[in-house]
Amino acid sequence: MAVLNVSLCSKLPPKPPLSSPNPHPSRQHLSLSGYPAPQVVKNHLVASRNVVLSVGDSVCKASLIALLSASLFVANPALAFKGGGPYGSEVTRGQDLSGKDFSGKTLIKQDFKTSILRQANFRGAKLLGASFFDADLTGADLSDADLRGVDFSLANVTKANLSNALLEGALATGNTSFKGSNITGADFTDVPLREDQREYLCRIADGINPTTGNPTRETLLCN
């Protein structure tokens, strides 16, 4: 598309020089027949052509600038997806952040969608409303973390440490898996879980959350 626009713009004819002023201002601009003299008609045509070329040149320049901006935006994913929250402008979405240390950080509404976070350290981090949609959290340390309202939809949270974590209102829909995770003292209040996932977690549930005082089994609605 950019090549086509450049080609079209390059084919615009050069602007002709402006016509010199009438050397005989006192001479009438009408021919004997009463119609405008040929030189006057020519001057009007040249002026009109200059206006059209000027407009066309402006449109071409605007199109090229827009295309260049769009191509830069698409070519560099970092310009499109920047992590939100207090982590600043560093990109945390769709990145390989395996083993990264986020312990104790305030990461409210941080965007970790589709990121690889194996063995990442989130111990004691504040992650309210953060998104781990379709992320890989295998072996991650989420102990003592504030995970209220976090989106774990389709996330792989296997073999993670969720001990004493607060997950109230978190989303765990779809194929979210907590298999092999440590959930001792975790609070799952109002977390929607598949029945098979709930049954699995109830078999390993134990402890009381130190923040809310709620027993893990009760928050999972275990029988």
User: Is 65 found in the same domain as 172?
Assistant: no
Cβ pair 186, 163 in contact under 8 A: yes
* CA angle 119–199–125, rounded 5-degree value: 30
Give first-to-last CA distance, the chain, whole Å: 63
Q: Is 141 part of a structural domain of the chain?
A: yes
CB atoms within 10 A of CB 46: 14
User: Is 91 found in the same domain as 71?
Assistant: no
DSSP 34-68: SSBPHHHHHHHHHHHHHHHHHHHHHHHHHHHHHHH
User: Is 172 found in the same domain as 136?
Assistant: yes
User: Is 153 found in the same domain as 67?
Assistant: no
Q: Domain range holding 66?
A: 1-10+59-78
Which is nearest to 107 in space by CA: 143, 157, 148, 152?
148
Q: Is 211 part of a structural domain of the chain?
A: yes
User: Is 194 found in the same domain as 92?
Assistant: yes
User: Is 134 found in the same domain as 68?
Assistant: no
User: Is 184 found in the same domain as 137?
Assistant: yes
Which is nearest to 86 in space by CA: 104, 62, 67?
104
DSSP code for 18: P
Structure tokens belonging to residue 212: 């809310």
pLDDT digits (tens, 9 = 90+) for 111-168: 999 999 999 999 999 999 999 999 999 999 999 999 999 999 999 999 999 999 999 9
DSSP code for 146: B
Q: What is the pTM of this model?
A: 0.62
CA 91/CA 17 separation, integer angstroms: 53
- 21, 43, 78: which is the final residue of a domain? 78
Q: Is 27 part of a structural domain of the chain?
A: no
Q: Is 140 part of a structural domain of the chain?
A: yes
Cβ pair 129, 106 in contact under 8 A: no
User: Is 210 found in the same domain as 130?
Assistant: yes
Q: Is 102 part of a structural domain of the chain?
A: yes
Q: Is 158 part of a structural domain of the chain?
A: yes
CATH number where 168 lies: 2.160.20.80
Quickly tell me which residue has 């990145």 as its tokens.
95
Q: Is 31 part of a structural domain of the chain?
A: no
DSSP code for 165: -
Number of structural domains in the chain:
2
Q: How many residues are recorded in the chain?
A: 223
Structure tokens belonging to residue 163: 């001990």
User: Is 63 found in the same domain as 102?
Assistant: no
User: Is 70 found in the same domain as 116?
Assistant: no
User: Is 119 found in the same domain as 66?
Assistant: no
pLDDT tens-place values along the chain, 223 residues long: 444 444 445 444 555 554 444 444 444 444 444 545 555 445 554 455 554 445 455 544 545 444 444 443 333 333 333 445 555 556 799 999 999 999 999 999 999 999 999 999 999 999 999 999 999 999 999 999 999 999 999 999 999 999 999 999 999 987 899 999 999 999 999 999 999 999 999 999 999 999 999 999 999 999 8
Structure tokens belonging to residue 129: 């409303």
User: Is 68 found in the same domain as 132?
Assistant: no
CA 121/CA 86 separation, integer angstroms: 17
Cβ pair 155, 167 in contact under 8 A: no
Q: Is 16 part of a structural domain of the chain?
A: no
